[in-house]
Amino acid sequence: MIRGKLITFEGIDGCGKSTQLALLEKHLSDRGASFVITREPGGTELGRKIRSALLEGSDGSVEPLAELLLYEADRAQHVRQLILPALESGTHVLSDRFYDATTVYQGTARGFDPDLIRHLNMLATGGLKPDLTLLFDLDVEIGLARTRARSGSDASPHAKPDRLDREPVEFHRRVRKAYLDLARHEPDRIRIIPSHGTVEETFELMIAAVDLALG
């Protein structure tokens, strides 16, 4: 049995992760590939409860340490219940965010010690690393504008902005820079996908990186 590959989608809010993930789903289906689509937080039943606690706790009541530990709890469950069994059965796993998001959001942006974050990520993942991480890179202002446009459209399932959408622009700038720093340190794993162009242009850039990884 050939082990499946783990591909993770990262980047600031509104950079196009979910849009491109849906397009990749169609591309892989057309090729007859075996894969599952998932996300963090919220890839498991327990994770969905954690997700709603985290993203809908709208009154600033989630303490940063509680937030960090909830993300890691979600991840511990996700890796063991969903990701590893899928990979071991030869299924590729595409995840909308994974531990790089904690490194960046809870580490750099919220200020937790990088060694603590590394340790907790290692504990939660059991050392599992993505085969490929797609970092959709975009100016913060454009990402926020796209998110606002999405929130304003009635047809959107995201009609209510979540907690992160209300952070100041400076917060999102730190997040973007931290993601780019990670990519510089792990260029083989993390591929930067410039995302300023149209959906189709970004898709072509993503597919080139994915086809290389999946062979």
Ligand X SMILES: Nc1ncnc2c1ncn2[C@@H]1O[C@H](COP(=O)(O)OP(=O)(O)OP(=O)(O)O)[C@@H](O)[C@H]1O
User: Least distance in Å: CB of 185 to ligand X?
Assistant: 22
Residue numbers 12-71 binding Mg ion by CB under 5 A: 17-18
Q: Does 198 bind ligand X (CB under 6 A)?
A: yes
Report which of 29, 3, 32, 31 is spatially closest to residue 90, judged by C-alpha positions: 3
Range in contact with ligand X (rule: CB under 6 A) among 46-54, 70-78, 144-152, 174-182: 144-152
Q: Which is nearer to Mg ion, 5 or 17 (CB)?
A: 17
Q: Does 38 bind ligand X (CB under 6 A)?
A: no
User: Least distance in Å: CB of 3 to ligand X?
Assistant: 27
Q: Does 150 bind ligand X (CB under 6 A)?
A: yes
Euclidean distance between the first and final Cα of the chain, in Å? Answer: 16
185: buried, middle or exposed (CB in 10 Å: 19+, 13-18, 0-12)?
A: exposed
Which tokens belong to 192?
Answer: 């930067």
DSSP string spanning 136-199?
Answer: EE--HHHHHHHHHHHHH-TT-TT-S--TGGGS-HHHHHHHHHHHHHHHHH-TTTEEEEE-SS-H
Q: Does 202 bind ligand X (CB under 6 A)?
A: yes
Assess contact for 106 and 16: CB atoms under 8 A. Answer: no
Residue type, 157: P
Range in contact with ligand X (rule: CB under 6 A) among 52-60, 114-122, 146-154, 177-185: 146-154
Report which of 127, 35, 114 is spatially closest to residue 79, judged by C-alpha positions: 127
User: Least distance in Å: CB of 164 to ligand X?
Assistant: 7
Q: Which is nearer to ligand X, 11 or 41 (CB)?
A: 11
Q: Which residues bind ligand X (CB under 6 A)?
A: 11, 13-19, 146-147, 149-150, 198-199, 202
Q: Which residues bind Mg ion (CB under 5 A)?
A: 17-18
